[in-house]
Amino acid sequence: MKGRKLSRKGKIVRNLLLTLGFGSVVWASQGGPMPTAELTFRQMERTRFLASSEILYTWESSLPLRELRSSSSKDVLVGQYPDQIVVGCIFDPNDPGGNRLILWPREEGVMPVPLSAFLQREDGTLCHVLLVLSAPEETAGAQATVTGRLENAKEPVETVQGERWGGGVWAFWFPIDEELTTDGELRYGTKDLEGLPYTLELYREDGSTLARQAGTTPENSQSGVIYDPGLYDFLGEILS
């Protein structure tokens, strides 16, 4: 008995389904990479069993991926829940297994948050970055000082000017440079900018002081949490 021949339309549908099926297999084998940083961030939230946060700001490096060092994040997304801050660091959109998602307890007022990844300047310099959240809208300039970041620093007290990101988020870039050390070797703790004494000053457009606060940068027990899609998909299957 002869089988029915597919019509031209049927063959097109069959080939389309085969193509989609093959593409899905390839996509899944790569860890399910997403086409945009925001979609990757949302995927990371879901696999941590989190609701979608309110995204305050998305930062993207102006450097192409091939010029970034492997320890430097390509994208940073800052979101908030009623009681938590969430920061996503995306190193390679095509390799989601190495991305990081860190949760911080949300505090009232201006809040410092040490970034759990290096960022790379256009000149190639890697930096520790301190984020400051909930800066007043009228903030026109900002300055942050930290003490003891580098164990062998020539000057243990470092002051840098802030960069406005948006959504009340400011970023303070502290370079990782051998020239800042006494012996040409970089030595800093595994916590980077966490647990360091800091002073923050915010300025108005006319240069007058808007706010000033001092304290110790927060430490996070989740520091270094790695987003592993394979692990969370496996856990999801067990729990479902």
The count of domains in the chain is: 1
Q: What is the pLDDT of residues 52-87, one digit of tens each?
A: 999 999 999 999 989 999 889 999 999 999 999 999
Within a domain: residue 27?
no
Within a domain: residue 194?
yes
Within a domain: residue 184?
yes
CA triplet 142, 146, 151: central angle to 5 degrees?
A: 150
Q: What is the pLDDT of residues 128-160, one digit of tens each?
A: 999 999 999 999 999 999 999 988 888 899 999
Within a domain: residue 133?
yes
Within a domain: residue 224?
no
Whether the CB-CB separation of 75 and 100 falls below 8 Å is answered with no
Say yes or no to pLDDT of 190 above 70: no
Within a domain: residue 54?
yes
Per the structure, the complete domain to which residue 197 belongs is given by 34-219
Within a domain: residue 212?
yes
**Model pLDDT, residue 56:** 96
Residue 88 has a CB neighbour count (10 Å cut-off) of 28
Within a domain: residue 6?
no
